[in-house]
């Protein structure tokens, strides 16, 4: 986003790709806002759909059309077909000569950095790969966004917000707006964990931590109560299982690394999460964690093969794991 804003005057050719579609969409909105006059979308904006059979001849037609109401014509090309077209000197010359009256924006899920197409955009314009942000960055984004509304929250509370949204920027942005409205109505300027419990989705990762804490302690009733409360909140059992399996994988990795700073660096986790993961992993031997992981895989296989009910398969795993 900063790269786009800083180069707005010279912006003619842009390639955006990656899996963080919410942030990519915001970049596209920023480009449209910079160049399209109010009410000028119909006249000066061309959007080429992902499944459109677009080629460079089609793009030339759009590029050669002058803007009518806006400072520049904006062309948003999402067509995967254009990326797979033959690319030679003529196509490179076309990208090199995009006129000052136009901004040509390519938006793809993936782009090979070694392909001629990508190299040409890098040479004559701007290319940005935008993938999912690590939790530590998402926590900062959430805190900075709420700070603009004079609302504060701790790193741990912000981390819980990120966790509740599965680290997805689109959902985090939606929940931030809900928090703003909540604070406006209640007059609060500080958000705490209890506030998130009241207005946000449940924190699956925190709940899985609680369930895993019961493993090897004989406290299967506590673990099953936590599971039941999540199911009562309409959380899909398949999602709960997937979260538990992912958590077991993370515990194995954390146990193997056995260093908080290295876990933060390699796994891109926030400090508080890395610390909690390492503390929980220290309660198990590596053999125990691996055994738990394979038991989780086995119960999942039993369910998929129709040998056991989905919920019962997960409850069976928890009971077996909780036995001392």
**Distance from the Cα of residue 93 to its chain's centroid:** 35
Instruction: List every span in the chain annotated with CATH 1.20.272.10.
Output: 204-322
Give the end-to-end CA distance of the chain in Å, rounded to a whole number.
52
Task: Answer whether 163's CB lies under 8 Å from 172's CB.
Answer: no
pTM of the predicted model as reported, rounded to 2 decimal places: 0.71
Domain with CATH 3.40.50.300 in the chain: 6-129
Cβ-contact 216, 255 below 8 angstroms: no
Closest to 120 in 3D by CA, of 91, 86, 82, 77 = 91
Domain 137-199 has what CATH class? mainly alpha
Tell me whether strands 13-17 and 126-129 are parallel, antiparallel or unpaired. parallel
- Specify the pLDDT at position 15: 96
Instruction: Give residue-wise pLDDT tens across range 120-170.
Output: 999 999 999 998 888 889 999 999 999 999 999 999 899 999 988 888 899
Architecture of domain 204-322: Up-down Bundle (1.20)
Query: 298 versus 148: which is more confidently predicted?
Result: 148
User: Which CATH fold topology does 6-129 show?
Assistant: Rossmann fold (3.40.50)
């Amino acid at each position: 986003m900063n790269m786009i804003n800083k180069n707005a005057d010279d912006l003619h050719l842009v390639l955006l790709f990656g899996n963080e579609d919410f942030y990519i969409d915001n970049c596209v909105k920023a480009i449209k806002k910079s160049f399209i006059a109010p009410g000028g979308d119909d006249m000066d904006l061309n959007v080429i759909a992902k499944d459109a059979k677009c080629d460079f001849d089609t793009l030339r037609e759009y590029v050669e059309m002058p803007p009518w109401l806006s400072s520049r014509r904006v062309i948003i090309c999402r067509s995967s077909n254009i990326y797979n077209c033959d690319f030679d000197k003529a196509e490179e010359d076309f990208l090199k000569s995009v006129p000052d009256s136009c901004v040509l924006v390519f938006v793809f899920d993936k782009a090979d950095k070694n392909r001629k197409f990508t190299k040409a955009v890098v040479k004559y314009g701007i290319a940005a790969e935008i993938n999912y942000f690590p939790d530590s960055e998402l926590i900062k984004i959430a805190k900075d966004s709420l700070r603009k509304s004079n609302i504060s929250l701790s790193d741990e509370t912000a981390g819980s917000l990120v966790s509740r949204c599965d680290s997805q920027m689109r959902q985090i942005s939606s929940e931030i707006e809900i928090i703003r409205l909540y604070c406006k109505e209640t007059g609060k300027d500080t958000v705490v964990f209890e506030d998130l419990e009241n207005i946000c989705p449940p924190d699956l990762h925190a709940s899985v931590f609680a369930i895993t804490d019961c493993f090897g302690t004989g406290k299967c009733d506590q673990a099953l109560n936590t599971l039941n409360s999540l199911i009562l909140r309409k959380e899909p059992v398949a999602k709960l299982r997937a979260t538990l399996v992912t958590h077991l994988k993370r515990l194995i990795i954390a146990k193997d690394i056995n260093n908080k700073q290295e876990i933060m660096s390699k796994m891109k986790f926030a400090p508080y999460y890395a610390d909690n993961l390492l503390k929980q992993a220290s309660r198990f031997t590596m053999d125990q964690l691996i055994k738990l992981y394979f038991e989780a895989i086995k119960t999942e296989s039993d369910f998929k093969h129709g040998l056991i009910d989905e919920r019962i398969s997960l409850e069976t795993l928890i009971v077996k794991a909780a036995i001392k």
